[in-house]
Amino acid sequence: MEIEQLINHLGMLDNFVQNKCTGNTQALAEKLGLSESAVCELLQIIGTFGYPLKFNHEIDSYEYVKPIKLRLLEFEEILVKNSNQYLN
């Protein structure tokens, strides 16, 4: 996945999380146009950046462990510096 695609998917993921409408991993994969394994990777990446998510069964959506405002520019800078680690 290219950096621009990854940033785009992270932004979409954040939007779904903020609006509490991610659904489960399978539903989120469909919304993002990704495989379930790619979604799991996104969830892992976002957690490594200090924005861990948990699944809330009551609302059937992922949510941030702590309320945050995602800064995609920050992600992009880190991803560019560490592209070998986060990009296939």
Per-residue pLDDT of 30-57, as tens digits, reads: 999 999 999 999 999 888 888 899 999 9
pLDDT of residue 75: 63
Which residues is 62 bridged to in the sheet?
A: 55
pLDDT of residue 23: 98
Per-residue pLDDT of 50-83, as tens digits, reads: 889 999 999 999 999 988 777 766 666 766 666 6
**Domains, the chain, with CATH or none:** 3-86 (1.10.10)
Q: From CA 57, how far away is CA 46, in angstroms rounded?
A: 20
Give the pTM.
Answer: 0.79
Which residues is 74 bridged to in the sheet?
A: none
pLDDT of residue 20: 96
